[in-house]
Amino acid sequence: MMALVSLVAWLLLGGCGSVYGQLLEEDCGVASVMQAMVAGGEDAALGTTPWMAHLYANGQFVCGGSLINHRFVLTAAHCIQADSPIAVRLGEYDTRTVEDCRQGECAPPPTDHAVVDVYRHAFYTSVEYYDIALLKMQQSVAYTANIRPICILLDTTVQQRMDSLREYTLTGWGLMWGGQRASVLQTVNLTQIDRYTCARHGFRIDHTHICAGDFRRHACVGDSGGPLGATVLYDGQPRYIQFGIVSFGRKPCNGVSVFTNVLAYTPWIQRVLQVTQS
């Protein structure tokens, strides 16, 4: 993840209660600390992203992800390797420390969770399309101050409003400007690029993608699978809603990034959850 400076994006979706009941998890997208301004490409404030999932295999970091309910984590399909069983760490912030503290305030230690089932989209064959997967954890997760779900909108009619959104926020442990992987969770704001302009950059995209970023602010290696979202005024309360999943971009990391459009796959997410409830 690389950037210079940015501001938090705000999006208004209807009036009070206008889309209530259209969230996957009603108690979502609210952090113990609300961050009104971020410095792109710098450390996220402790407690502002309790939905972030740190995915690892054989003890090594693999990808980011997002907690969407008590049992499931959303990530990119290309993060899943058949020969490397994946696990989930929730509540992670600084990968170098057991206890994360800032300005005298400390968060509970992160928790590790085994994955019992992996649901990669059946049509996924390469990173360009259907790059979405769900991980089912062995045990249901209790919500705490530093472990909470991100919001997933089930009302796909907001797609047109989403297309007009200019700013998103991305968080992850990807590569930074010096080429080193971030140990502390990073945050950056990205400007949305319309699909026509994105296609001119050489990307094959359609309505199932989101384009965002520029040559100074974009996703990078290690950010894959992580959430792209925005703070939304929902039922009178600011909530963080996920709109994209980090999918692919230029190599080396320099320019526009492409994200899986979560709204295009909410029916698939609902189907997976419905047939796996147990």
Residue appearing with tokens 């600390």: 33
pLDDT tens, residue by residue, 6-33? 223 444 444 333 344 489 998 999 987 6
pLDDT of residue 96: 85
pLDDT of residue 64: 95
Catalytic residue among 6, 66, 94, 131: 131
The whole-angstrom separation of Cα 41 and Cα 215 is: 13
Active site residue 54: no
Q: According to the model, what pLDDT value does residue 242 have? A: 96
Could you report the per-residue pLDDT of 120-135, keeping only the tens digit for each?
Answer: 999 999 888 999 999 9
pLDDT band at 98 (very low <50, low <70, confident <90, very high): confident
Mean pLDDT of the chain: 82
Distance in angstroms between the alpha carbons of the first and the last residue of the chain: 37
In the block, tokens 């994209």 appear at 244
CATH topology of domain 10-27+151-264: Thrombin, subunit H (2.40.10)
Give dist(CA 193, CA 212) in Å, integer: 5
Query: Matching CATH topology for 10-27+151-264 and 52-147+266-275?
Result: yes
Residue of 54, 100, 113, 224 marked active site: 224
CA atoms within 13 A on the CB side of 209: 23
Catalytic annotation on 223?
A: no
Question: Which amino acid is residue 181, in one-letter code?
Answer: R
84 is catalytic: no
Domain chopping of the chain, boundaries: 10-27+151-264, 52-147+266-275
CATH topology of domain 52-147+266-275: Thrombin, subunit H (2.40.10)
Round to whole Å and give the CA distance between 86 and 55: 7
Exactly one of 6, 54, 66, 78 is catalytic; which is it?
A: 78
Can you give the pLDDT at residue 127? Answer: 81
What is the DSSP pairing of strand 133-137 with strand 72-75?
A: antiparallel
Q: Which of the four pLDDT bands, split at 50, 70 and 90, describes residue 117? A: very high
Lowest mean pLDDT among 115-129, 166-180, 211-225, 243-257: 211-225
Q: What is the token pair recorded at 159? A: 């797609």
Confidence grade of residue 39 (pLDDT, cut at 50, 70, 90): very low
Rg value, the chain, Cα: 17
Which residue has better confidence, 159 or 19? 159
Q: Is the pLDDT of residue 207 over 70?
A: yes
